[in-house]
Amino acid sequence: MDFDLLAFGDAFPRLLPAALTNLTIALGAMLLALIGGTVLTVLRTTGIGLLTGAIGVLISFIRGTPILVQIFLFYYGLPALGLDLTPIQAGVLAIALNSSIFITEIMRGGLAGMDPGPVEAAIALGVRARTIWTRVILPQLYIRILPPLVNELTTIVKGTALLSVITVVEVLRTAQQIANTTFRPLEALLAAAIVLFALNLAISQLGRRIETRFAARRG
């Protein structure tokens, strides 16, 4: 069998719009995960044993199990518990939870490397904990962890392709649909791989640019 360049080229006009689905899902999940990761990080500093213990177990569970199984838990499991979700909602929530955990771990690393001086100063001045977070720690922390956060976004984009398994019509599923009509799976899949590769490359390049802009404020 020969590689059909025509079928390969014809796949792109359909795959490119589908990539917008991946990007939208990824950005939505990233936003939720940033919020979730920040909340988890703040909760971990409360020193309430039961709470930090529960978060510790959750971290271990999410990090120790495949994201595909987590997606199945949300997609098949939650409706059985009486919570009906569309495939996209289930997918976004599963990815967001997974990513929250990785982001809180990124934040933990970022916090440990931060200069304690400003925080000590704030404590000494009697600044409230809430203000310490919002005015002293978080603004520095987000800039500091920008590179691993961009990296996390590319991981999320890779996770969105798994949603094809739960019927979300994104790049990979679109490629499968194309293959079903052209009988040229390899051509469609290679095109899908190139589209996803380009998407992730664009994200990491953009991240590098933003990083250099913020470089002066890092520390």
Q: Which residues bind other proteins (CB under 8 A)?
A: 1, 41, 44-45, 47, 52, 56, 60-61, 63-70, 72-73, 76-82, 108, 111-112, 114, 116, 119-120, 123-124, 132-133, 137, 154, 157-162, 164-165, 172, 185-186, 189-190, 192-193, 196-197, 200-201, 204
How near is the Cβ of 165 to other proteins at its closest, in Å? 6
For tokens 């962890």, name the residue.
145
Taking every pair of Cα atoms in the chain, the longest distance, rounded to a whole number of angstroms, is 75
Dist. CA 11–CA 174, nearest whole Å: 9
What distance, in Å, lies between the first and last C-alpha atoms of the chain? 57
For tokens 């495939």, name the residue.
87
Dist. CA 88–CA 55, nearest whole Å: 26
Q: Write b or e for each residue in 42-75: b if 16 or more Cβ atoms lie within 10 A of its Cβ, otherwise e.
A: bebeeeeeeeeeebeeebeebeeeebeebbbebb
Q: Which two tokens stand for residue 9?
A: 């080229």
Q: Which helix (H) or strand (E) holds 136?
A: none
Residues composing the chain: 219
- Cα–Cα nearest to 164, from 78, 57, 75, 42: 75
Q: Which is nearer to other proteins, 72 or 214 (by Cβ)?
A: 72
